[in-house]
Amino acid sequence: MAMKKGTILVTGATVRNSQAVSALQSSFELPARLTNINCIQGGLGVALASHVSTVYPAYHGIYTVRNASTPNVSLEAAIDPNTSHEVLSLDLGNNASIRAAAASINQRVSSGAIPPIRVLVLNAGFLEFAEQTYSKDGFDMSFAANYLGHFLLTLLLLESLAKERGRVVWVGSNVHDPSRPGISARIYPDEKWQTFMRDGTADGIAKGTWSSKEDDPTFRSGFRRYGAAKMCVAMSVGELQKRLAADPALKGVTSIGIDPGTMGTGMLRRSHWLIRNFPRWILIAAVTKTREYFWPGSTGPMRTVHVSARDIMEAGMNDQGNVAGGAYLDGTQPVEVSAEANDLEKRQILWRDSVGYVKLQKGETALADWK
């Protein structure tokens, strides 16, 4: 097999229901030049894998799922079998699993078995409504799976990022901003929910005491915890970029964020049946498919997984050079993150606390300013 241009790694590539599977039948086009790594999150993760294998076939693809020993029929069906790719186990709620996966990848990149990572897509997501669960390491699962696991994975893999044009893509959500009209205003109606980090620490979000199920037994508490985790993602885009830009060895690596829009994926599977089925599979599917049919290539708040996957990979590859490090996009358009996510002091507090949560040690990351 010819040497690949690089690796693309995508996290969260598992489809958990047949509706998500049927929504992914159309294929994408991605060239295989670099290695891309990401966790495949339901429909979007599979769409990303399909897009990478068809549009970037010159790259080696790494697609992570919680348990690679379980058959992933939909994922494998979405990937061109003639491209170089692998499915890797990665549990973002388990720091030991993250360290093991990163060590394996770093060793193979170092030995030349696979090329450096051109794009690391932090896509895996977790959203719950009726329940509140915790990671193996004792953190709120929304915080761990959406943010903290990706934080650790990124720092561990920086040594394997392509030193020129390597890019970390954080998949975010506009629900991180309580000031936005629409659903955010309904989810954060009280002032006490409109500030996520309090008292100079991220502990409330990390340990699930902020907007806990006990505080609010309705679905809104889980949605707020998801939003808080995505606020941490938005904070990390700029904070990581600042530290990369100041690092002589890693200044060619960049960090960006992107809101993929509202899609009909499996993210709402833990909600009430009406929320799970009506908005997601009837309203969202109808609106996005109609718009795509009459106005192909257009974007809006509701998008198909195919459009979102394309936007994510175009921003990650950045072949036009028009998406600078530190940018946060809504689809293809640059947007501002929330005021709290843009708070420099809080960004540093989150970073400091996160280093402590994952027990990062000297020598585990290539980043000079890691503390």
User: CB of 90 within 8 A of CB of 101?
Assistant: yes
The residue behind tokens 């990401």 is 38
Query: What is the rounded CA–CA span in Å between residue 44 and residue 365?
Result: 29
Beta pairing, strands 60-65 & 5-11: parallel
Question: Catalytic site residue 230?
Answer: yes
> CA of 289: how far to CAs of 15, 54, 283, 293, 305, in Å?
20, 21, 10, 6, 11
Give dist(CA 311, CA 295) in Å, integer.
Answer: 16
Q: Which residue is associated with the tokens 């010159």?
A: 58
136 neighbors 149 (Cβ within 8 angstroms): no
- Choose the catalytic residue: 4, 5, 230, 346: 230
Active site residue 192: no
d(CA 75, CA 65): 10
The number of beta carbons lying within 10 Å of the beta carbon of residue 185 is 12
Which of these is catalytic: 59, 63, 188, 226? 226
Cα-atom radius of gyration of the chain, to the nearest Å?
19
CA distance 271 to 273: 6
Active site residues: 226, 230
